Amino acid sequence: MTSTLENNKEIKIQMRGIAKVFETEELETHALKNIDLTIYAGDYVSISGPSGCGKSTLLSILGLLDMPSGGEYTIEGVNVTDLSLDQAAEIRNAKIGFIFQSFNLIDELSVFDNVALPLRYSSEKMSEQAITERVTECLQAVDMTHRTGHKPNQLSGGQQQRIAIARALVAKPAILLVDEPTGNLDSKSGDQVMDTLEQLNKSGTTICMVTHDPRYANMANIQLKLLDGSILTTPAPGANIKEAV
């Protein structure tokens, strides 16, 4: 693994001049314009902004779920701007953990199998015992070990999101990308999920979260605001501020 240090802090993610243009026959939409962004190990970044400002597009590009139209993007020093589909899948598997608004658990799989899924796709083959140990560890982290044999539709929304967090953590990613984690939850469950994320960050997990709930955005130590595809204020490298803007 190649890692880059800046101000003695390990750079997890670095974007330079990232742009995204959606083209149709009649229209060209600039979803992201010249985005520069650096996320360091242990950062808890929130991205917020009005609807259509490019939050989800930025998160998709951060997670290699979409490719930028221009610019340069590195994860832990590896240039991931122009990867093949399978190379991108490998990076996603090894370095990125996703938490989605609608949980995206697979109904036909048990809680255990949902959490184990990234390990099954890993290029480093693990023994069944190792997988079981790792999954159990992650389920313990989200306090869901009592539900391993259940199917997702037998769980509450909050429980499903905790399972999704466990799945995101299972492959020990470089960064957790979180998309409106409380969007489908009631406030109590939302708070529980956010507490879990905060605990994870405190234990060293790097998190980048998209939210438009200011309450949750404030929980991040770096808060980015996006408008019309541009970051309004970029924090200084290595900044650890509650309010960057």
User: Two tokens at 48?
Assistant: 């917020």
Angstrom distances, CA of residue 73 to CA of 23, 96, 242: 21, 14, 25
Pick from 11, 45, 47, 117 the residue near another protein by CB under 8 A: 117
Among 38, 93, 182, 189, binds another protein (CB under 8 A): 93
Contact between 72 and another protein by CB under 8 A: the answer reads no
**Binding characters for another protein, 154-193, by CB under 8 A (x = yes):** -------------x---x------------x---------
Our finding on whether 110 is near another protein (CB under 8 A) is no
Residue with tokens 């998160």: 59
Instruction: State the Cα torsion 234-226-55-61 to the nearest 10°.
Output: -40
Query: d(Cα 234, Cα 47) in Å, to the nearest integer?
Result: 11
Range in contact with another protein (rule: CB under 8 A) among 27-35, 114-122, 138-146, 207-215: 114-122
Q: Which of 10, 72, 90, 228 binds another protein (CB under 8 A)?
A: 90
- Count of CB atoms within 10 A of residue 195's CB? 11
Q: Does residue number 106 form part of the binding site for another protein (CB under 8 A)?
A: yes
Amino acid (one-letter) located at 50: P
130 binds another protein (CB under 8 A): no
Q: How far is CA 92 from CA 83, 98, 152, 160, 237, in A?
A: 11, 9, 23, 21, 25
- Is residue 55 a contact residue for another protein (CB under 8 A)? no
Contact residues: another protein, CB under 8 A: 56-57, 60, 63-67, 85-86, 89-90, 92-94, 98, 100-108, 117-118, 121-122, 167, 171, 184
